[in-house]
Structure 1
Amino acid sequence: MGCRTLLLCCALLGWSGVRADARADLDAMFDDTMARYRLPGLAVGVITDGEVSYVRTAGELRAGEGKAIDRDTLFKIASNSKAMTTALLARLVDAGRLRWDDPVTRHLPAFRMHDPWVTREIQVRDLLIHNSGLGEGAGDLMLWPEPNAYTRADILAGLAHLKPTHSFRAHYSYDNLLYVVAGEVAAAAGGAPYETLLQREVFEPLGLARCRVGEFGLDAVGNVAQPHMREGDGNRVIREDAAVVPASTSAAAGGVRCSLGAMLRWARVWLDPDHTLPSGAPWLSPEQRRMLWTAHMPMPLSARQRAWDDGHFLAYGFGWRLSDVDGEYRVSHTGTLAGMYSLLTLLPDRRSGFVILINGDGSDARTVLGQALVKHFTAPGQQRGVAYYADALAAERAEASAGGSAPRDAAARAPTAPAALGPWLGVYRDPWFGEVRLCAEGERVVFRARKSPRLVGTVQRVGARDLVDWDDPSVDAEPWLAFAAADGGADVRLTLSHVDPQADFSYDYADLAFTRVRGCD
């Protein structure tokens, strides 16, 4: 790249550059993370004092195909979409179209929670801060794995059947479904679909040209990273996009895609409290900016945050997590989907921060690199490298496993014979998840979810118990099956539970309560 071209790129991105020694440190973090976790792709951007100071990308859109990731590559940002949803709602509040303390039923009259009192009392603000009383990830099986046939209407109807695990507003428990409801509140108040409003109120005024929500053509948009999972020593594409990427039911909770360049632009908007539109008007009022970054719901502080960050508090704002690190204020959020990981961290008092985007198995990589990057700002004299945090995280996981949190031994298994499950075979229905078939197919018993086509697997016998071994290896949380019968066998029930108690909470098997409705065809 020529000097004039490099300068032009820097100017367009707002890149002021960093000192040579600082860049060497950042390069070392980047290289060590790629090597340690053998990622298919990684994109990192750093902002220092309001300007983009470092950008680096590596890897491929699809492993082995040679198409390189760059600053314009689209990644799924997953739950970093939530801050965009709350920003959209804040724009509607500024416009007088809704209020944070509006009852949800004012905008969605058909909305119902399991408890009629909660239905009456829950406000728009409650949809955003994980205080609903639902268990962690309740109902997420209507969102993921994608693609599936659940609609936003299904989610609104299903919420009435999801039983709370604790009292309304009692404490924090992360959920996604109520962000989908929040997107529908925005649509009702704004008079247009969620996707249209997000484009109009967020993407267009802020110049986020490389962000997408809703249906789009893969080739027309181009440069779209695909998710991967580890396979042996390499990475394999999973859940590959079709030629036409469909609109996502989960858009308001985790369905936005953006490039590194767009995410850096988004981050700089939040680091500039006086950001205005070309007309000179503020994009958001100071009052609404404060609302989004107010600590509305306390969160439990982990031992790791105390040890690594000298942390003292953790709370949820509207779509943002608020905390302290080495005595400095931090605003941040993660995003997690199968084969896609994101992290946006801001240090507002420094007008600094960073973005991490990964298109592979990146949970530990995100944790480790994010920690090294934040210490780059808050503790430069005591900074430890990626290897230190990676080793510490590995030791933490090993200790947890030794303490009894490892999954039960389910390695010795064999397909369950249809005769062994004869009394339990049939078609079952759950009030919110819908129908599943548990029927013989040849010499095996197959579990098939009617509206979630990736949830298909063979029933396997482990000792005296049965589990489902999913056909799709990217569905990585197996369930135990448990049967019960009453009324002389007329009333047959099926419940599911995690084989691995540490499995992703979005596989919310505990919320399912199936009743057999008919026999197998």
Structure 2
Amino acid sequence: MQRPVCHHFHEESENMPVHTPAPVSTVSRRAFLGAGWSAFLLPAGAVAGGLASPASDLEDFIRNEMRIAKIPGLAVGFARDGVVQFAQGYGMANIGQRKAVTANTMFHIASITKTLTATMIMRLVERGKLALDEPIAGYLDFPVANPRFRDTAITFRQLLLHTSSISDARYYEIDFRQPGHDADLSLADFLKQYLTPAGGNYSDATCFSTARPGAAWGYSNVGYALLGYLAGRIGQLDMRVQTRRDIFAPLAMGHTSWTIKDTPESLSAEAYDLVDGALVAVKPVGFPDWPSGMLRSSISDFMKFIAASANGGKSGGISVLGGDAMAQMLDMQAPAGLPTWLNGQGLGWMASTLGGQTRPNHWGGDPGVFTAAYLAPATRSGVAIFTNVSASAENRIAVKNIASRLLQSASS
């Protein structure tokens, strides 16, 4: 069975799962190489309403990075002081239909979703519904314990910091993805089958690590799925409904969805793999651990969330999160086992080096998509970049270059 792609990527990871999906439709290699990438790089799509266009030299820089990295479609936005400065699309959302990326094109943002899930947990903390360092057990309707350390409680903070000891090893042995549609397996059933000894997907050896909870870092999609489930139980409403009510609606994020079925085809970015120099369209994937990576959003929408995250929790006069809670999210820790490509781990957000500066960030990747978001709290600036092609060494460099240029301009 093919290993599934992780919902998360970092540029220096040597253990990134590899996925080569079956072709659905292909731009022929001969036509592709003959036309060159300039054929796909249409003029920039419509700017989000009321926003300025990026400077022409910046647009040239973005198009050049796309051409080098063979990125068919890209959306980028920049925010400062809680205000979105620009949000714009470049290239093709759908090559076959000659459909350009616009500021309202909806991309699968993959693991950047985790920053939203973490924000919902922190909203519940602010409301006094939970404490970060208390055990999660009292909020669950099924037991969750590392079989090697049953006497050690798993806490909310550990889940947020990826130190809970819940392991994705078994997760990568099973392909939970369903190409073309949302998962049939519910979040609750996914978690019960994975985390409880009676579950059909449970394994003492691979569902939990050998580290005691809280002792070591281990990136966990399953851990963030559990956070989403906990948010639903504690908030007494499915977390997807809570986010629509408490974050998406106040920020006027009308082009954001948790599901494939609720993403209009007319707005959806087609996903592509680059195979032997040719772009191969791949079906969108659904998976049951939606709090860890299923969110779909436009750059015009998501930049409002990024603006708040970079600005003490406030965007356009709307408070997504209080300043203290936002500061806690960006307070970077260095747990044992933190990989060398990271400088720190916060609550949802991570930190690594970009342009010589340590920046809170999160990356995301699934078949046919690669995304990144970076914050610069010192200048209250943030950037997000969405692409509709699977991660590669080239597009990781391109995304970093674009993000670095934007954040350096904010500090100059």
TM range (shorter): 0.7 to 0.9
Structure 1 counterpart of 2:396, from 340, 358, 367:
367
**In structure 2, distance between residues paired with 1:322 and 1:224:** 30
1:252 to 1:141, Cα distance in 2 relative to 1, 3 A: farther
**In structure 2, distance between residues paired with 1:109 and 1:120:** 18
Please list the CA deviations of residues 299-349 of structure 1 after superposition, one character each: whole Å capped at 9, or x if unmatched.
6454xx6xxxxxxx7111111012454664411100111111110011111
Instruction: Using the TM superposition, give the Cα deviation of residue 174 of structure 1 relative to its aligned residue in structure 2, in angstroms.
Output: 0.9
Q: Retained in 2: the 8 A contact 1:321–1:333?
A: yes
**In structure 1, distance between residues paired with 2:91 and 2:151:** 47
Bigger Cα Rg: 1
Q: Is the aligned partner of 1:339 residue 2:339? A: no
**In structure 1, distance between residues paired with 2:330 and 2:90:** 33
Structure 2 counterpart of 1:64, from 70, 78, 96:
96
**In structure 1, distance between residues paired with 2:67 and 2:133:** 48
**In structure 1, distance between residues paired with 2:362 and 2:385:** 11
Q: Is the aligned partner of 1:225 residue 2:260? A: no
**In structure 1, distance between residues paired with 2:324 and 2:174:** 35
Q: Retained in 1: the 8 A contact 2:158–2:164?
A: yes
Instruction: Using the TM superposition, give the Cα deviation of residue 292 of structure 1 relative to its aligned residue in structure 2, in angstroms.
Output: 1.3
1:85 to 1:350, Cα distance in 2 relative to 1, 3 A: same
Instruction: Using the TM superposition, give the Cα deviation of residue 142 of structure 1 relative to its aligned residue in structure 2, in angstroms.
Output: 5.3
TM-score (normalizing by structure 1): 0.61
1:119 to 1:263, Cα distance in 2 relative to 1, 3 A: farther
Please list the CA deviations of residues 30-79 of structure 1 after superposition, one character each: whole Å capped at 9, or x if unmatched.
22222223222111223356554454423333322212211101101101
Query: Aligned residue for 2:323?
Result: 286
Query: Aligned residue for 2:29?
Result: none
**In structure 1, distance between residues paired with 2:404 and 2:191:** 41
Please list the CA deviations of residues 244-277 of structure 1 after superposition, one character each: whole Å capped at 9, or x if unmatched.
xx7x522210010000111211111122226278
Structure 2 counterpart of 1:189, from 234, 249, 253:
234
1:295 to 1:13, Cα distance in 2 relative to 1, 3 A: farther
Query: Aligned residue for 1:270?
Result: 309
Q: Is the aligned partner of 1:156 residue 2:192? A: yes
Question: Considering only aligned residues, what root-mean-square deviation do their CA atoms show, in Å?
Answer: 3.0
SS in 2 for 1:110: coil
Query: Aligned residue for 1:28?
Result: 60
**In structure 1, distance between residues paired with 2:350 and 2:162:** 12
SS in 2 for 1:84: helix
1:10 to 1:367, Cα distance in 2 relative to 1, 3 A: closer
Q: Is the aligned partner of 1:96 residue 2:128? A: yes
Q: Which stretch has the larger CA shift, 223-232 or 146-155?
A: 146-155
Query: Aligned residue for 1:43?
Result: 75
Instruction: Using the TM superposition, give the Cα deviation of residue 203 of structure 1 relative to its aligned residue in structure 2, in angstroms.
Output: 1.2
Q: Retained in 2: the 8 A contact 1:111–1:119?
A: no
Structure 1 counterpart of 2:249, from 187, 197, 204:
204
Runs of 4+ residues deviating >3 angstroms: 9-15, 47-56, 116-120, 134-138, 140-144, 147-151, 214-219, 296-302, 323-329, 377-380
Q: Is the aligned partner of 1:319 residue 2:348? A: yes
**Which amino acid in the other structure matches residue 332 of structure 2?**
A
Q: Which stretch has the larger CA shift, 32-41 or 370-379?
A: 370-379
Q: Which stretch has the larger CA shift, 45-54 or 250-259?
A: 45-54
SS in 1 for 2:100: coil
**In structure 2, distance between residues paired with 1:274 and 1:217:** 27
Query: Aligned residue for 1:419?
Result: none
**Which amino acid in the other structure matches residue 153 of structure 2?**
E
Instruction: Using the TM superposition, give the Cα deviation of residue 374 of structure 1 relative to its aligned residue in structure 2, in angstroms.
Output: 4.1
1:292 to 1:165, Cα distance in 2 relative to 1, 3 A: same
Q: Is the aligned partner of 1:235 residue 2:242? A: no
Q: Retained in 1: the 8 A contact 2:155–2:164?
A: no
- The alignment of Structure 1 onto Structure 2 pairs a total of residues equal to 351
**In structure 2, distance between residues paired with 1:49 and 1:106:** 39
Instruction: Using the TM superposition, give the Cα deviation of residue 83 of structure 1 relative to its aligned residue in structure 2, in angstroms.
Output: 0.7
Q: Retained in 2: the 8 A contact 1:328–1:378?
A: no
**In structure 2, distance between residues paired with 1:157 and 1:301:** 29
**In structure 1, distance between residues paired with 2:233 and 2:277:** 49
Q: Retained in 2: the 8 A contact 1:44–1:260?
A: yes
Please list the CA deviations of residues 84-131 of structure 1 after superposition, one character each: whole Å capped at 9, or x if unmatched.
001111111112222212311111031323417447500122122211
Instruction: Using the TM superposition, give the Cα deviation of residue 371 of structure 1 relative to its aligned residue in structure 2, in angstroms.
Output: 2.6
Structure 2 counterpart of 1:216, from 248, 261, 272:
261
**Which amino acid in the other structure matches residue 360 of structure 2?**
V
**In structure 1, distance between residues paired with 2:63 and 2:355:** 25
Query: Aligned residue for 1:491?
Result: none
**Which amino acid in the other structure matches residue 122 of structure 1?**
I
Query: Aligned residue for 1:448?
Result: none
**In structure 2, distance between residues paired with 1:377 and 1:365:** 19
Q: Is the aligned partner of 1:76 residue 2:108? A: yes
Q: Retained in 1: the 8 A contact 2:372–2:386?
A: yes
Instruction: Using the TM superposition, give the Cα deviation of residue 197 of structure 1 relative to its aligned residue in structure 2, in angstroms.
Output: 1.4
Report the identity percentage.
21
Q: Is the aligned partner of 1:172 residue 2:208? A: no
Instruction: Using the TM superposition, give the Cα deviation of residue 159 of structure 1 relative to its aligned residue in structure 2, in angstroms.
Output: 2.0
Q: Retained in 1: the 8 A contact 2:224–2:292?
A: yes
Q: Is the aligned partner of 1:133 residue 2:165? A: yes
Structure richer in helix, relative to its length: 1
1:136 to 1:116, Cα distance in 2 relative to 1, 3 A: closer
**Which amino acid in the other structure matches residue 278 of structure 2?**
G
1:182 to 1:29, Cα distance in 2 relative to 1, 3 A: same
Structure richer in strand, relative to its length: 1
Please list the CA deviations of residues 157-208 of structure 1 after superposition, one character each: whole Å capped at 9, or x if unmatched.
3224242343122321111001111111001101111211121122112222
SS in 1 for 2:194: helix
Q: Retained in 1: the 8 A contact 2:72–2:92?
A: yes
Q: Retained in 1: the 8 A contact 2:75–2:386?
A: yes
Q: In the TM superposition, what are the counterparts of 1:103-122 in structure 2 within 5 Å?
A: 103-115=135-147, 117-118=149-150, 121-122=153-154
1:322 to 1:120, Cα distance in 2 relative to 1, 3 A: same
Q: Retained in 2: the 8 A contact 1:43–1:70?
A: yes
